Amino acid sequence: MFEPVEIAHDIDKDSFEERLPKLRTDLLEAQFSLLEAKKFPVILIVAGMEGAGVVDALTHASTVLDTRYVTTFALDAPTDEESGRPRMWRYWRVLPPRGEMGVYVGSWYTTPLTDRILDESRTTEFEQELKTINRFEAMLAAEGALILKFWLHIGKKEQAKRLKKLDSDARTRWRVEESPWGGTKRYRQVERAAGQMMTATHTDHAPWIAVNAENPYYRGLTVGRTLLNAIQSRLSQADQAKPISVPANIPAVHDRTVLMDLDLSLNLDKSDYREQLAKYQDRLNELLWKKKFNKHSLVLVFEGNDAAGKGGSIRRVTEFLDPRRYRVNQFAAPTDEEKAQPYLWRFWRRLPVRKHIAFFDRSWYGRVLVERVEGFCSEADWRRAYGEINEFEKEMTDAGVIVIKFWLAIDKDEQQARFRAREETGYKRYKITDEDWRNREKWDDYAAAVCDMVNATGTRLSPWILVEANDKYFARVKVLRTLCEHIEKQLEGKKSKS
C-alpha cells in the first residue's frame, strides 16, 4: 500500500529537527491536494501502550497540519444521546467528510480493547466486536476512505519510566490517574489483547502499522512519513474513490416470486376498516407507553411502488401518537455535508434515541432500488450494499432498536389509475411527475430489485412485511397489525433479560 519508511530507530533530536520542516511542508501540500480533490477522507487512528505518546499525537497533528480541515476525536464517556443509540452512532457523528482528515485518539477500538484487557475471558465478544469493526472499515474503504491505524509500542521498562515521569509532573499526573488499563500492572494483558486486535483487523484497506515508540523522534517521523506516503500514493491513483471491491452479498439463487405470490385482491370494507384501525391504533399506543418500551426505540421503513400509499399509511400510524416521540423522515436531495459522507450517513444521522420513533418514508434501500435500477451507482456499489445494510440494521437491533420494514405493493393497473386520479386532483398533481411515468416503464426491473432486496435483507429481527396495497383500507390495517405484533414479540423476547 505504501513504500516502507526508512528511518533509523536511534535518530537523534538534531536529525529530527533537520528533517521536520520538509515533512511539514510535504504534509501541508498533501493536505491541500486532498482537499482540492475532495475524493476521499483520511481516517487516522492512533492507539498504543500507555505512556507511548498517544495523547501527544493530537498535539503533534495540530502543529504539522492545517487544522481547519482536521477533525480530532478523543473518546469520552458517551452522552445519553449516544448511549441511547447503536454503539457506532457516536463515531458516525465525527467521520471526516471527503477531502478532510479525522485523527482519532480513542476510536471504535478503545472500548472493545479495554473490556478485553480488564477481563481476558471475554474472548467471543471481543472477536465479534472486531468482526463488526472489520465490516465497518470495509464499508468506509469501499466508500473511498483512506484508513491508517498506528499502534505505538514501548517496552515494559520504558513504560514504567515514562509513567513515573508523567506522575511526577502536576500537569500530566491525570494521565496516570485516569489510566484505564492500570499502567505496567497489566502490560502483558495489553500486549496480548492488542496483538489479537491487530491480527484480526489488519487488512489491505485498513492496515495496522506498529511503531516502535521508545524514541519520540523516530515515532513522530514514522507516523508523519507513513501518513504522507499513503496520501500521496492514493492521490496518484487513477480512480481515487474506489480502492477496494467487496464480494457480492446477494443470494446466489434468486427467488423472484415473492411479489407474484401476493394476493392483491385482498380488501376490507369501511366498517371493518374503521373498527380494526381503531383497535390497532389503540394497541400501538398501549405498547409504546409500556415501561418495557423505554429500553427500545422504533425504526419504521416504508418503501413501495409509487402511489402505493406510503404517506397515507404513515399518517394512520402517527395519528394518535405523541408528537414529542416520533419523527417522520423524508429525504430531499442530499446536502453537501451529506454528499461528502458514505451513503448511509444521512440515515445514521436520523436514528431515533431510546424511547423514540423514526419513520423513514423511503430509506437506505434506495441504494438497491432506484440507484440500482437507474444506474445511479455502480453494480459493485449496490451489490455490496446488501451486506452493509444488514450490518447497519444488525447494529440497530443489537442496541435494542425495533426495526420493521414495509413494502407496499400495488399492481400496474392500480398504479395507472392512481396516477390518473392524481393528475386530476389539484393538490395531488404535485405528487406525480414525468419521472413517475418513466419509472413505470422499468416495472419489471424494479420488481426484480425488490425481490432481491427482500431475499437478501429480510431477517427475523428486521423483517420485510409485504403489504397488499391495492386496497388502501386493507393495507393500512395490515401495516398497523403487523407492526403491533412485531413490537409485542420484541418486547416479550426481552422479558427474560429485563
Contacts (Cβ under 8 Å, ≥6 apart) of 395: 86, 87, 88, 132
Alpha carbons 176 and 321: distance in angstroms, whole number: 50
Query: Sheet of 326-330: strands edge to edge?
Result: 326-330, 357-361, 297-304, 401-409, 464-468
Please say which residue, 174 or 437, places its beta carbon nearer to a copy of itself: 174
Nearest distance, CB of residue 279 and a copy of itself, angstroms: 10
Q: Is 14 in the site for a copy of itself (CB under 8 A)?
A: no
Residues in 306-345 at the binding interface with a copy of itself, rule: CB under 8 A: 315, 318-320, 322-325, 327-328, 330-332, 335-337
Q: Is 55 in the site for a copy of itself (CB under 8 A)?
A: yes
Alpha carbons 334 and 367: distance in angstroms, whole number: 14
Please say which residue, 336 or 441, places its beta carbon nearer to a copy of itself: 336
What DSSP string describes 10-29?
Answer: T--HHHHHHHHHHHHHHHHH
Contacts (Cβ under 8 Å, ≥6 apart) of 461: 393, 394, 397, 403
CA 64 from centre of chain: 30
Alpha carbons 376 and 283: distance in angstroms, whole number: 41
Residue 152 in contact with residue 53, Cβ under 8 Å?
A: yes
Nearest distance, CB of residue 24 and a copy of itself, angstroms: 3
Residue 249 in contact with residue 456, Cβ under 8 Å?
A: yes
Nearest distance, CB of residue 265 and a copy of itself, angstroms: 28
Alpha carbons 300 and 317: distance in angstroms, whole number: 10
Please say which residue, 256 or 325, places its beta carbon nearer to a copy of itself: 325
Q: Contact letters (x/-) for a copy of itself, 28-47, by CB under 8 A? A: x---x---------------
Q: Is 291 in the site for a copy of itself (CB under 8 A)?
A: no
Per CB under 8 A, the segment of 75-83, 217-225, 252-260, 408-416 that binds a copy of itself is 75-83
Helix/strand/coil for 471: coil
Per CB under 8 A, the segment of 78-86, 415-423, 432-440, 475-483 that binds a copy of itself is 78-86
Please say which residue, 112 or 352, places its beta carbon nearer to a copy of itself: 352
Per CB under 8 A, the segment of 6-14, 66-74, 194-202, 230-238 that binds a copy of itself is 66-74
Interaction site with a copy of itself (CB under 8 A):
21-22, 24-25, 28, 32, 55, 58-59, 62-64, 66-69, 72, 74-76, 79-81, 84, 105-106, 170-172, 174-175, 178, 278, 281-282, 285-286, 289, 315, 318-320, 322-325, 327-328, 330-332, 335-337, 353, 356, 361, 425-427, 429-430
